[in-house]
Structure 1
Amino acid sequence: MIVITTPTGDIGSRLLDILLRDADGEDLRVIVRDPAKLPAAVRERVDVVAGSHGDPEVVDRAFTGADAVFWVVPPDPGATDLEAAFSGFTRPAAQAFTDRGVGHVVGVSALGRGTPVAERAGLVTASLAMDDLIADTGVAYRALANPSFMDNLLRQVDAIREKGVFTDTVAPDRKAPSAATRDIAAVAARLLLDRSWTGAGEVPVLGPEDLSATDMARIMSEVLGRPVRYERQGLDELGGTLSGYGLGAGFVQGMVDMMRAKDEGLDAGVRRTPETATPTTFAQWCEEVLKPAVLA
């Protein structure tokens, strides 16, 4: 049996679709706060455990009889303490992995381990500590080491449509990897279906190319048939904006520290190989995902 956390999230929902299509003979179970958010056709084909996967009773029940787990810590914008938001949230599951004899866990994490800035990278630093917590249980563990998601740009659809602008905090010419969430889900599915691996380690998910914000603006302009430009936002401005939304101080500082680290090379520590590259180009993603959203 495979247990999927966050089955309605950006990655979890895509993973669930893949497993429902390809996981012949595998029982599937999901943990979800609100089962009504799952399509009725999905609820009919999976075992549903309602509740938070940060709850000890929920994970103990959900992991009973499980061979493998897909683990994602949901974002906690109200967090005042990042250790609590990542490792604290994960500790009940880590105990349940051991108590219930779970063999394999695939988790969503981040690039950065081994880089000079990894210890001061905010949300990423907390995510890497969570990986260590899971690995220390002795379960076979693979952390999906991800760069920024292409899909994050969907949060800026209105600005792209109405103003022809997208923003970030990185230098305009800094090239970095990015990945489509559908490719991350595909890597997770491969690991969950072929559980011949042992030990603990990372699986980098780098996308097929490194691009700068300037490159991305050019590609978006070409695909959308309208000019799109990049505006760099200062880190202080980012922090002020997030605080203005009422987000927790720990989360805000963690986001600012992560974005500073990305501009200092956080995502540049892994070389792209056929094993670490994923197929969706940014141009393809823009054509298939961003363009329909902008035109909607």
Structure 2
Amino acid sequence: MIVITAPTGNIGSHLLPRLLESAATEEHLRVVVRDPARLPADVRERVEVITGSHGDPEVVDRAFEGADAVFWLVPPDSSLTPEAGFSGFARPAARALADRGVGHVVSVSALGRGTPVADRAGLVTASLAMDDLIASSGVAYRALANPSFFENLLEEADSIREHGVFTDSVDADRKAPLVAVADIAAAAAALLLDRTWTGVDSVPVLGPEDLSPADLARIMTEQFGRPVRYERQSYDDLRTTLVGYGLDQTFVQGIVDMKRAKDDGLDSGVPRTTESSSPTTFEQWCTQVLKPAVLT
């Protein structure tokens, strides 16, 4: 049996249909979800639903009973410090994994382990510490080490539509890997369905090529048929904007530190190989996802 946490999120909503549709899936699927109504009706009929938060000790203890594998994803909570939001949230699950004898866990994590900036990368540092916590439960563990997502640009759709501008805090020419969430889901599904692996390791999911903000602006300009440009935001302006939204100041500092670390090469520590290169190009994703969001 496979347990899927966060099944209605960006990655989970791609992963669950893959598992349901796979011919290899002859095992039971159980999902942990706060609001079962967010699951499509046809999905609810085909999975066992545990209602609640997977940060709740009673919920994860019940969810992990009889489980062979778990897909683990921590939902972002900007009201908490990074440590509380990652390791604090995951601590009950780590205990339940050991108590229930779960064999395999696949988690959504981040690139950066082993780089000089990994210990000062804010949210990424907290995510890597959570990996260590879960691995200490004794499970066979694979952390999907991801760069930034293409989908982050959906937050810029209004600005791109109205002003032809998107913003970030990295240098315009800083090339780095980027990935589509559907490709992360595909990597997770492959590991969950073929549990011949053992031990603890990271699995990079890097997308097909490194791209800079300048590259993204050029591709969007070509795709949309109108100019799109990149504006670099200072870290101070980013901090002020996020604090103005009411986010926890320690969480905001975690975002700022992560952004600074990315500009210092956090995501560049893993060489791209055939195995780590996922297939979806930015051009493909832009055509299928971003362009409809911007031009409608």
Superposition TM-score, scaled by structure 1 size: 0.99
Partner of 1:46: 47
What residue number does 2:64 align with? 63
CA distance in 2 between counterparts of 1:220 and 1:188 reads 29
2: distance between equivalents of 1:14 and 1:251? 27
- The residue type paired with residue 49 of structure 1 is I
Q: Distance in 1 between matches of 2:214 and 2:25?
A: 44
Following superposition, which runs of at least 4 residues in structure 1 exceed 2 angstroms of deviation?
none
Match of 2:170 in 1: 170
SS at match of 1:10: coil
Distance 1:220 1:17 in 2: 29
Q: Distance in 2 between matches of 1:26 and 1:288?
A: 32
In the TM superposition, residue 138 of structure 1 has moved relative to its aligned partner by 1.2
Q: Does 1:251 align with 2:251?
A: yes
Distance (Å, rounded) in 1 between the aligned partners of 2:223 and 2:82 = 38
Q: Does structure 1 conserve the Cα–Cα contact (< 8 Å) formed by 2:25 and 2:193?
A: no
Tell me, yes or no, if structure 1 residue 271 matches structure 2 residue 271. yes
Shift in Å, 1:160: 0.7
* Secondary structure of 1:171's aligned partner: coil
User: Equivalent residue for 1:12?
Assistant: 12
Deviation at 1:85, TM superposition (A): 1.1
In the alignment, residue 222 of structure 1 is paired with which amino acid?
E
Q: Does 1:120 align with 2:120?
A: yes
Determine the C-alpha separation between the residues in 2 that align with 1:165 and 1:83: 33
Give 1:3 deviation, angstroms. Answer: 0.4
What is the number of equivalent residue pairs in this alignment?
Answer: 295
Query: Residues 157-203 of structure 1, C-alpha deviation per residue, up to 9 Å, x if partnerless?
Result: 11111111000000000100000000000000000000000000000
Q: Indicate whether 1:88 and 2:96 are aligned.
A: no
Superposed displacement of residue 51, structure 1: 0.2
Alignment-mate amino acid for residue 150 of structure 2: M
Deviations 1:31-54 (CA, angstroms, capped at 9, x unpaired): 000111111111101000000000
**Which blocks of at least 5 consecutive residues in structure 1 are unaligned?**
none
Give the whole-Å Cα distance in 2 for the aligned partners of 1:10 and 1:85: 18
Q: Deviations over 1:204-239 (max 9, x none)?
A: 010000011001000011011111000000011000
Alignment of 1:189-268 (within 5 A): 189-268=189-268
Distance 2:249 2:51 in 1: 30
Deviations 1:107-134 (A, max 9, x none): 0000000100000000000000000001
1:151-190 aligned within 5 A: 151-190=151-190
- Seq. identity, %: 73
| TM-score, reference length from structure 2 | 0.99
Once the 2 structures are TM-superposed, how far is the Cα of residue 139 of structure 1 from its aligned partner? 0.3
Local SS of the residue matching 2:222: helix
Shift of residue 84, structure 1, vs aligned partner = 1.3
Task: Name the CA distance, whole Å, in 2 between partners of 1:105 and 1:150.
Answer: 25
Task: Check the 8 A contact 2:147/2:177 in 1, yes or no.
Answer: yes
The letter for the 1-side match of 2:26 is: G
